[in-house]
A = this chain, B = another copy of it.
Amino acid sequence: MKIGELARLTGTNVETIRYYERDGLLPIPARSDGNYRIYGDAHVQRLSFIRRCRSLDMTLEEIRVLQHFKESPQENCADVNRLLDLHIGHVAQRMQELQELEMQLKDLRERCGETRDAAHCGILEGLSQAIVPSGKTASHVQGTHWHAANPNSAKGIQGNQV
């Protein structure tokens, strides 16, 4: 099959597939006479694996490690467990951070329940206050926003986009 069909089958953007190839996550496919990429079932499996991992918010690095384990079946899978435990830890940590954040934001929001002019807005006043260093520990956890280039990431893969 050509790249478009692979994209449809796996609910992946065509550009993303080429990106994975460049990144070494997908093996380089055969080419047709007209220089089109030709994929088979193995590619569908492999890409589905990647997308499933991505829908679980794993990094491409983590996925690379998992792929390595898939390809060396004799190895012990304790490392797979460890990787997953770490990942679960990250998610839990990010949730806790977001909970704190929500509290702070709601606190701030209550400073300005009614509508007045910006000169006396409690929210703006609150934001102008000194910075309170929070005791949060270092983690590789992302922020809240994602209007970046990929509206698809971090929200699961939602069916085939036609």
Contacts and interface: CB of A to CB of B under 8 A. Distances in A.
A98 B97 contact: no
A30 interface: no
Contacts of A112: 77, 80-81
Contacts of A121: 69, 77, 80
Given A52-B127, A145-B90, A118 B155 contact: no
Interface stretch (A20-28, A32-40, A131-139): A131-139
A13 to B, nearest CB: 14
A136 B154 CA distance: 10
A145 B153 CA distance: 12
Contacts of A154: 97, 141-144
Interface in A109-124: 109, 112, 115-121, 123-124
A75 B145 contact: no
Contacts of A80: 112, 118, 121, 123-124
Nearest to A84: B109
Interface of A: 10-11, 45, 48-49, 51-53, 55-57, 59, 66, 69-70, 72-78, 80-81, 84-85, 87-88, 90-92, 94-95, 97-99, 101-102, 104-106, 108-109, 112, 115-121, 123-124, 127-131, 133-148, 151, 153-159
Given A57-B143, A95-B99, 5 more contacts: A55-B134, A81-B109, A95-B98, A133-B156, A141-B155
